[in-house]
């Protein structure tokens, strides 16, 4: 199953900022987001619930690793939803949505 990646306004700004300020980090972010869209449970992402915040509509927040074992390692904070998108294929496939809430160094 694939997931459509959407962004909150603040996450979109963070994505653009890291693209402008640190191209090397941006490549890591893009790689993480691609994996997240393929399968948020991939072992390399180390995805797990993050209890210190909630999503835009009170959803559970998940954390996935952009980096590991680095000072101030970067993370993607995201939630499932808010909805699903039905695409116009003959099999009427449904794409689940993941909303990225933040792209930031680990707090």
**In a structure prediction context, what are the per-residue pLDDT tens digits for the chain, which is 107 residues long?**
788 899 999 999 999 999 999 999 999 999 999 999 999 999 999 999 998 888 878 889 999 999 988 888 999 999 998 766 555 555 666 778 899 999 999 87
User: How far, CA to CA in Å, does 94 sit from each of 31, 57, 80, 97, 107?
Assistant: 23, 22, 14, 10, 34
Report the predicted TM-score, pTM, of the whole model to 2 decimal places.
0.87
CB 38 within 8 A of CB 26: no
Rounded to whole angstroms, the Cα distance separating 64 from 44 reads 9
The domains found in the chain, sorted by start residue, are 3-105 (3.30.2310.20)
């Amino acid at each position: 199953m694939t997931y459509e990646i959407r962004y909150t306004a603040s996450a979109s700004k963070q994505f653009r900022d890291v693209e402008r300020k640190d191209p090397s980090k941006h490549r890591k972010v893009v790689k993480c987001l691609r994996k997240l869209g393929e399968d948020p449970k991939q072992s390399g992402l180390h995805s797990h619930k993050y209890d210190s915040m909630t999503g835009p509509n009170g959803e559970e927040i998940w954390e996935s690793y952009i980096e590991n074992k680095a000072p101030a390692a970067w993370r993607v904070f995201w939630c499932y939803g808010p909805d699903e998108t039905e695409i116009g294929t003959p099999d009427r496939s449904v794409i689940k949505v993941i909303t990225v809430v933040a792209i930031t160094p680990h707090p």
